[in-house]
């Protein structure tokens, strides 16, 4: 009975979430300068010290809740649709669920990236109650080593608790190329995630400027196998061409929209391109304007060709889809020059929204349906 109630609550949440995600995507399509994702840092402090990471310290105090609320309000005023809590370790902030609740109250999608070490059943329940939409738990290896303590051995208990109680989406992310003695662990982690009904993703390690650190043969192989494991027609993790290209050591041709579609707001409330390009532009969020968003949308970032920062790549895909929908879909599905190879539902959507004679009517109806 209890299990059936949980399954029902989950289903209700999923439906609501998918509608809000569709609305967020439609809004991103409407305006090219609207931020899609903003990462905010509730605390720079972390309880771990992964050797590949430069995004934490041991001493910082948490950002006061009032200040975080002001930042969230400003991000929403700028039109931001997804607000992610990262760090440092965001679960070290005592009022993390209050912050999530505020994001949801202001109408944005709320997500968290965590090392999972502080997740308990009661934290999961509090995040459920606050309305969290999605949680990414980072796991790098099967057993803890000198590089990372975020291991399956330590965190499997938390994964099981998430599988039993979480009403939000869960993704397990492993970093490949960080110097771990057994890169094959990423495959075991991905399989365990799928077994529990979660998504799994991999990140390619970057240096202190966000740039690719060349992968060894084993790491490259593992990455390719993990990407195959992730194949699913309708999730964004399906579209990892940038990782395949970079893993082979080649530059990737894309337009980074950081500072516009993606904002990184540090603990001091400054807007940066991303965690690895702090100081650019380094403008206080309170003073960040529509003009800044427009400028950064077209600024070419010299660090783009070898950048491995996955969340910014994925956000940029929305603009590819917005500007060149058919070509972008063909590229994602590996069917250049033809729509015939696209999965049938995608072909139908292309017809209804992009190429078909009734497209204006369908787009209008979709906008009305989504309340935009």
What residue ranges bind ligand SF4 (CB under 6 A)?
46, 48-50, 53, 55-56, 87-89, 115, 210, 256, 258, 273-274, 276-277, 301, 303-304, 307, 309, 312
Both structure tokens of 243: 């990782």
240 binds ligand SAM (CB under 6 A): no
> Which listed option, ligand SAM, ligand SF4, none, makes contact with residue 203 (CB within 5 to 8 Å by class)?
ligand SAM
Residue 272, SS3? strand
> Which listed option, ligand SF4, ligand SAM, none, makes contact with residue 256 (CB within 5 to 8 Å by class)?
ligand SF4
CA angle 89, 90, 94 (to 5 degrees): 115
Contact between 319 and 312 (Cβ < 8 Å): no
| Residue 33 C-beta: closest distance to ligand SAM, Å | 26
Q: Which of residues 168-187 bind ligand SAM (CB under 6 A)?
A: 173, 175
Q: Which residue is nearest to ligand SAM (CB)?
A: 138
Query: Torsion angle, CA of 126/129/130/133, rounded to 10 degrees?
Result: 100
Long-range contacts of 224-232 (CB under 8 A, 24+ apart): 225/187, 226/174, 226/176, 226/186, 226/187, 226/190, 226/200, 226/202, 227/202, 229/187, 229/190, 229/191, 229/194, 229/200, 230/190, 230/199, 230/200, 230/201, 230/202
| Residue 178 C-beta: closest distance to ligand SAM, Å | 7
53 binds ligand SAM (CB under 6 A): yes
Residue 173, SS3? strand
Closer residue to ligand SF4 (CB): 161 or 304: 304
* Packing angle, helices 310-323 and 325-332, rounded to 10: 130
| Residue 198 C-beta: closest distance to ligand SF4, Å | 18
| Residue 330 C-beta: closest distance to ligand SAM, Å | 30
Binding-site size for ligand SAM (CB under 6 A) equals 16
Contact string (CB under 6 A) for ligand SAM, positions 13-52, x = contact: ---------------------------------x-----x
- CB-neighbour burial class of residue 1 (10 A; exposed 0-12, middle 13-18, buried 19+): exposed
85 binds ligand SAM (CB under 6 A): no
Query: Which residues of the shown chain bind ligand SAM in the complex (CB under 6 A)?
Result: 46, 52-53, 55, 86-87, 89, 113-115, 138, 173, 175, 203, 205-206
């Amino acid at each position: 009975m209890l299990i059936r109630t949980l399954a029902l609550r989950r289903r209700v949440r999923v439906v609501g979430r998918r509608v809000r995600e569709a609305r967020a995507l439609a809004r991103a399509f409407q305006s090219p300068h609207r931020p899609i994702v903003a990462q905010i840092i509730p605390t720079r402090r972390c309880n771990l010290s992964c050797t590949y990471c430069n995004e934490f310290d041991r001493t910082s105090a948490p950002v006061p809740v009032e200040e975080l609320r002001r930042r969230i309000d400003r991000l929403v005023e700028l039109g931001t649709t997804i607000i992610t809590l990262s760090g440092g370790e965001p679960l070290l902030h005592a009022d993390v669920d209050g912050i999530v609740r505020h994001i949801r109250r202001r109408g944005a999608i709320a997500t968290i990236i965590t090392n999972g070490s502080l997740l308990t059943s009661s934290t999961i329940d509090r995040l459920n109650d606050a309305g969290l939409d999605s949680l990414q738990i980072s796991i790098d290896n099967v057993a803890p080593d000198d590089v990372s303590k975020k291991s399956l051995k330590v965190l499997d208990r938390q994964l099981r608790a998430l599988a039993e109680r979480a009403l939000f989406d869960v993704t397990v992310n492993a970093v490949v190329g960080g110097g771990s003695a057994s890169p094959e662990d990423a495959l075991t982690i991905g399989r365990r995630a799928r077994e529990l009904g979660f998504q799994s993703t991999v990140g390619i390690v970057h240096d202190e400027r966000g740039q690719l650190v060349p992968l060894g043969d084993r790491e490259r192989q593992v990455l390719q196998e993990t990407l195959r494991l992730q194949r699913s027609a309708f999730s964004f993790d399906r579209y990892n061409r940038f990782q395949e290209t970079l893993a082979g050591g080649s530059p990737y041709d894309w337009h980074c929209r950081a500072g516009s579609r993606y904002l990184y707001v540090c603990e001091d409330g400054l807007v940066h391109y991303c965690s690895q390009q702090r100081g650019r532009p380094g403008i206080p969020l309170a003073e960040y304007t529509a003009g800044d968003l427009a400028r950064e949308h077209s600024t070419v970032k010299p660090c783009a060709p070898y950048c491995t920062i996955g969340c910014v790549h994925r956000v940029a895909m929305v603009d590819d889809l917005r500007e060149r929908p058919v070509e972008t879909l063909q590229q994602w599905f590996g069917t250049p020059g033809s729509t015939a190879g696209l999965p049938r539902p995608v072909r139908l959507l292309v017809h209804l929204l992009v190429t078909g004679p009734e497209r204006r009517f369908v787009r209008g109806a979709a906008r009305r349906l989504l309340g935009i």
